Amino acid sequence: MTFTDLEQAVKTPYFFLYQIERLFPQEKPAHIHTQISRFWRRGLIDRVKRGVYLFLPVVMDEFSMGQILRAPSYVSLESALHTTGIIPDVSAAVTSVTPLLGKTYKTTLGIYNYHHLKKSLYFGFTPQTDTAQCAYNMAEPEKALLDLIYLKKIKNLDSYRFNWQGVNKTKLTNYARRFPQWVKEVVQ
């Protein structure tokens, strides 16, 4: 397997090691591992976590990488609120929620923080596609706000600089019904 063979076989800016083993069944797994390691040392690919690689230079959105690192998940909290214009502050990391255990990844695309959210609160997001046609999920502004209040245990919104014009109050109230009572009281 040459690097050209790899590029032609993989149609996305990223790939999984198991995927390469299936695309090249005539190659021994040990040979594939050796080739991937050589491509990495030559700076042709980057390893973002065990078994997950990116072609260099990176052409995908940082939010799409978040979906690849930990699925299921969706971009929420500060990242979603800034992207939708609800807060002016830019988060240093991509913040997402997942029904899996929370975890942090440090990659060449940035830092990814995943916060655990129970399954009953895992809703309120829409699928998005970046310029490289890679998919990810983005929280609706109302859900990102509720996730922030709930996960960061915010009791009062007075000290926050929110642009409320982008928030649908009816949707916020409807979504808040699924959260604990104290969250409902914060948004009222």
Cis peptide before 180 (omega within 30 of 0): no
**Whole-number Å distance between alpha carbons of 169 and 180:** 18
In the chain, the percentage of residues whose pLDDT exceeds 70 is 100
Structural domains of the chain sorted by starting position, each given as residue range(s) with its CATH number in brackets = 3-55 (1.10.10), 62-177 (no CATH)
Which residues fall within 8 angstroms of residue 39, CB to CB, at 6 or more apart? 3, 6, 45
* 118 pLDDT higher than 90: yes
Name the pLDDT band for 122 (thresholds 50, 70, 90). Answer: very high
Q: pTM of the entire structure? A: 0.90
Name the pLDDT band for 169 (thresholds 50, 70, 90). Answer: very high
Q: Environment class of residue 140 by beta-carbon count within 10 Å: exposed (0-12), middle (13-18) or buried (19+)? A: buried
pLDDT digits (tens, 9 = 90+) for 52-84: 999 999 888 899 999 999 999 999 999 999 999
Name the pLDDT band for 31 (thresholds 50, 70, 90). Answer: very high
pLDDT digits (tens, 9 = 90+) for 10-30: 999 999 999 999 999 999 999
